[in-house]
Structure 1
Amino acid sequence: MLAVVRACVFDLDGVLVDSEPVWEEVRRAFVAEHGGTWQPDTQSRLMGMSTAEWSAYLHELGVRMPPAEIARAVVEQMAARYRDGVPLMPGAVQAVRRLAERNTLGLASSSPRTLIDVVLDAADLKQCFAATVSTEEVARGKPAPDGYLEAARRLDLDPRGCVAVEDSSNGLRSAHAAGMHVIAVPHPRYPPAPDALALAWRVLPNLDALTPELLS
């Protein structure tokens, strides 16, 4: 049982931004265009990986470019798509602002820093977060706990007093491994694996159900 919630740490992709379909479309086309082969489990494996990890993985799929060039090209395409409009999840802005009125908020994302900043600026949410972390800034991406541990460190809090909001299998595993209580808000198109969902403290149908009262 969680006695006192010191902070709520959000994931970005799939929780606040409906970006996984965009990531899949961009990376799938990039792999095909550059000689690679997309595998049936590729999308699920990519979710939660850091930039260095997923660019190396696309190279392993047969993309005939160094991982650093793969990362740069794909992130540029993602930024271009976001400039046309950030696909926010239903209720995302309202949920963040609702919780920010009573809770300290953090963010731990697998997206590169440039895309995190684009999203938070576009949604006018940057001021709601006391700390944000990209897995580019830690040693390992999700499902390793590094990003969530770093978010707690920047908030100067024990991770065991924090709640994380996640959607993906790797994200749920990451936050749980960090010692946080995890609220799962599963993405309808990319539901987490049953074993990962079993790690959740609470499972919510959508962000409208995420309220300060739930954390009190």
Structure 2
Amino acid sequence: MTSRLAAVLWDMDGTLIDSEPIWIAQQFVLAERHGGSWSQEQGLALVGSDMHDTAVAMQAAGVDLEETELVATLERAVIDSLRDDVPWRPGARELMAALHAEGVPQAIATTSSHEMAALVAAAAPAGSIGVVVGAEDVTRTKPSPEPYLRAAELLGVAATDCVAVEDSANGLRSAVASGTAALAVPNDAALPEDGDFTTWPTLAGRTVDDLRALLG
């Protein structure tokens, strides 16, 4: 008997799109503009964190902006880059298109802004992303389960019948806590070696049936 796959809930940065290098590059630009110092290690340590944590880290590194302005400046730079080119992760577009062809709903649940997620959703295969949950759409971001629970709620499905796809430790904690079948696809962030999740090295070559099997 085939397992019911009610929906697939996607993390965005590092999972659907290879945006982490863009974030880190813009962190360097912002730090240098304000006479601060930044490193690749600092950028990688923030993968999967919410924007508050990013702002605090960059303020400590010498960026003399209050949190709201810092976050807005950084996000605007990343959004402008994504308007020119959306760098999809291997296999992501193909799997989204296959899910859409089989009528499986999909959502983006991200710690980035709703605006950024909506831009990525619009660039995805037509009709594939039905719901977007950004940082401002929840009261608590990842590692809280709220983003994934909210995405499932908006799609009208039970989180326990969904697969959530992640690339960061914070995101995996969120996905597992929400009751979804959590899938890790490593990218730049360090991930735990084991836990209540499945790991695929890549989305490339994966099928809808592969996702269904995660709910078995």
TM-score per shorter chain, which class?
0.7 to 0.9
Superposed counterparts of 1:133-148, under 5 Å = 133-148=133-148
Across the two proteins, how many residue pairs are aligned to each other?
210
Do the aligned residues in 2 keep the contact of 1:51 with 1:112 (CA within 8 Å)? no
Give the CA deviation at 1:39. 5.9
Taking the aligned partners of 1:191 and 1:68, their CA distance within structure 2 comes to: 25
Q: Alpha carbons of 1:57 and 1:156: their partners in 2 closer, same or farther (altered >3 Å)?
A: farther
1:36 paired residue number: 36
1:211 paired residue number: 207
Taking the aligned partners of 1:78 and 1:215, their CA distance within structure 2 comes to: 30
Superposed counterparts of 1:1-216, under 5 Å = 3-38=3-38, 41-102=41-102, 103-125=104-126, 127-187=127-187, 190-195=188-193, 198-216=194-212
Do the aligned residues in 2 keep the contact of 1:50 with 1:136 (CA within 8 Å)? no
Question: Structure 2-normalised TM-score?
Answer: 0.86
Q: Which SS does the other structure have where 1:132 is aligned?
A: strand
Output one character per residue of 1:111-143: Cα deviation in whole Å (capped at 9) or x when no partner.
212211222223444x21221101221122222
RMSD across aligned positions (CA): 2.2
Q: Alpha carbons of 1:80 and 1:172: their partners in 2 closer, same or farther (altered >3 Å)?
A: same
Q: Alpha carbons of 1:107 and 1:73: their partners in 2 closer, same or farther (altered >3 Å)?
A: same
The amino acid across from 1:205 in the alignment is P
Q: Which SS does the other structure have where 1:183 is aligned?
A: strand
Q: Which SS does the other structure have where 2:112 is aligned?
A: coil
Q: Alpha carbons of 1:40 and 1:77: their partners in 2 closer, same or farther (altered >3 Å)?
A: closer
Taking the aligned partners of 1:66 and 1:100, their CA distance within structure 2 comes to: 42
Q: Alpha carbons of 1:88 and 1:151: their partners in 2 closer, same or farther (altered >3 Å)?
A: same
Output one character per residue of 1:150-173: Cα deviation in whole Å (capped at 9) or x when no partner.
111212222122110111111111
Q: Which SS does the other structure have where 2:204 is aligned?
A: helix
Give the fraction of aligned pairs with identical amino acids, expressed as a percent.
Answer: 32
Taking the aligned partners of 2:98 and 2:196, their CA distance within structure 1 comes to: 22
Taking the aligned partners of 2:165 and 2:196, their CA distance within structure 1 comes to: 9
Q: Alpha carbons of 1:111 and 1:41: their partners in 2 closer, same or farther (altered >3 Å)?
A: same
- What are the ranges of 5 or more consecutive residues in structure 1 without an aligned counterpart? none
Give the CA deviation at 1:183. 1.2
Taking the aligned partners of 2:211 and 2:119, their CA distance within structure 1 comes to: 28
Give the CA deviation at 1:18. 0.5
The amino acid across from 2:135 in the alignment is T
